[in-house]
Structure 1
Amino acid sequence: MKGLLDQWLWKEEYWLPPGVTWKDIEMEEGERYPLPRDLLCTLPLALGFIALRYIFERLIAIPLSRQLGVSDRVRVRAPPLPKLENFYKQNKHQPSQSEVLVLGQQCGLGHRQIETWFRHRRNQDRPSNTKKFCEASWRFVFYLIAFVAALASLIDTPWFWDHSECWQNYPKQPVTEAHYWYYITEMGFYWSLLLCVSVDVKRKDFNEQIIHHVATIFLLGLSYCANYVRIGTLVMVVHDSSDFLLESAKMFNYAGWRKTCDTLFVIFALVFLLTRLVVFPGRIIYSTLVVSMDFFQPFFGYYFFNALLLVLQALHIFWAWLILRMVFKFAFSGKVEKDERSDEESEPEGRDEEAVEEEDMSWDLRKGTLNSKLASLANNCVLNNLTNQRNMNSRLPKAR
Structure 2
Amino acid sequence: MEIVRKPTLDYYSLIVLTNQSIVAYCKRFVANFSSDYTFPFSFFKDLQQTCSLQPQNVWNVLFLAVVLTGLRFMFVRFICRPLAKYWRLTAEISGKLPESLWNLTMYLFLWLNTCWTLVRTDRWKYFTDPLSIWSDFSRDRLIPYEVDVVYLTQTAFYVHATYGTIFMEQWRKDSKVMVFHHLLAITLLSFSWAARYDQVGILVLFLHDVSDVFLECAKIFKYLKFRDNTHYSFCEFLSNASFVIFTASWFIFRLYWFPLKVLYTSFYGSVFLGPDDLPFIPVFNFMLWLLFFINIYWFHFILMLIYNLATGKFKELEDSRELENCNSEKHD
Give TM-score, length-normalised by structure 1: 0.63
Higher deviation after alignment, 185-194 or 254-263 = 254-263
Are positions 1:212 and 2:245 aligned together?
no
Distance 1:165 1:327 in 2: 38
Q: CA deviation at 1:259?
A: 2.2
Question: Secondary structure, in 3 states, of the residue corresponding to 2:280?
Answer: helix
Q: Does 1:48 align with 2:67?
A: yes
Contact 1:147/1:240, CA 8 A, preserved across alignment: yes
In structure 2, what is the equivalent of residue 370 of structure 1? none
Please state how far the C-alpha of 1:327 moved relative to its aligned partner. 1.8
Among 278, 297, 304, the residue aligned to 2:283: 304
Query: Which consecutive unaligned segments of at least 5 residues does structure 2 have?
Result: 1-39, 226-234
1:250 to partner: Cα distance: 1.0
1:273 corresponds in structure 2 to 251
* Equivalent position of 1:182 in the other structure: 150
Distance 1:160 1:173 in 2: 21
Q: Which amino acid aligns with 2:198?
A: V
Cα distance in 1, alignment partners of residues 53 and 279 from structure 2:
18
Give the counterpart of 2:305 among 307, 319, 326: 326
Counterpart in 1 of 2:23?
Answer: none
Match of 1:11 among 36, 41, 44: 44
User: 2:162 & 2:42 partners in 1: Cα distance?
Assistant: 23
Identical counterparts, % of pairs: 26
> Aligned letter for 2:117?
S
Q: How far apart are the structure 2 equivalents of 1:160 and 1:142?
A: 23
Secondary structure in structure 1 of the residue aligned to 2:248? helix
* Partners of 1:53 and 1:138 within 8 A in 2: yes
Deviations 1:62-84 (A, max 9, x none): 22233445322xxxxxxxxxxxx
How far 1:344 moved relative to its partner?
A: 4.1
State the AA in 1 paired with 2:288. Answer: L
Paired residues, number: 272
**Greater alpha carbon shift after TM alignment, 63-72 vs 40-49:** 63-72
Q: Distance in 2 between matches of 1:137 and 1:291?
A: 39
What's the CA shift string for 1:129-177, capped at 9, x where partnerless? 2121101100100101111121122134232322223222322333222
**CA spacing shift, 1:60–1:129, aligned 2, 3 Å:** same
Residues 167-193 of structure 1, C-alpha deviations (whole Å, 9 max, x = no match): 223223332222111101010010011
Q: 1:255 to 1:344 in 2, by over 3 A?
A: farther
Using a 3 Å threshold, how does the CA distance of structure 1 residues 212 and 9 change in structure 2: closer, same or farther? farther
Question: 1:17-28 maps to which residues of 2 (within 5 A)?
Answer: 21-22=49-50
Which one has the largest radius of gyration?
Answer: 1
Q: Which amino acid aligns with 2:320?
A: K
For the pair 1:283 / 2:242, whether they are aligned, the reply is no
Once the two structures are superposed, the pairs formed by residues 77-156 of structure 1 within 5 Å of their partners are 128-155=92-119, 156=122
Aligned-partner SS, 1:290: helix
The CA deviation at 1:212 is 0.2
Distance (Å, rounded) in 2 between the aligned partners of 1:64 and 1:339: 25
Matched residue of 1:175: which SS?
Answer: coil
Structure 2 letter corresponding to 1:223: S
Aligned partners of 1:205 and 1:341 also within 8 Å: no
Give the CA deviation at 1:284. 0.5
- Structure 2 distance, partners of 1:338, 1:274, is 23
Which residue pairs with 1:159 in the alignment? 126
Are residue 71 (structure 1) and residue 90 (structure 2) matched? yes
Other-structure match for 2:192? 223
Contact 1:326 1:340 (8 Å CA) reproduced = no
Equivalent residue number for residue 260 of structure 1: 238
CA distance in 2, matches of 1:236, 1:181: 13
CA separation of 1:298/1:69 partners in 2, compared to 1, >3 Å: closer, same or farther? farther
CA RMSD of aligned residues (A): 2.4
CA contact (8 A) 2:101 2:216 kept: yes
Matches within 5 A, 1:380-399: none
Distance 1:8-1:53 versus aligned 2 partners, 3 A rule: farther
Match of 1:91 in 2: none
Residue matched to 1:338: 320
* Map of 1:62 onto structure 2: 81
Mark the runs of 5 or more structure 1 residues left unpaired by the alignment: 1-6, 16-20, 26-33, 73-127, 349-400
Shift of 1:36: 3.9
Q: Which amino acid aligns with 1:139?
A: N
Q: Deviations over 1:92-112 (max 9, x none)?
A: xxxxxxxxxxxxxxxxxxxxx
Q: Name the CA distance, whole Å, in 1 between partners of 2:65 and 2:205.
A: 17
Report the Cα offset of residue 279 of structure 1.
0.8
Give the number of the structure with larger relative contact order, counting CA–CA contacts within 8 Å between residues 6 or more apart.
2
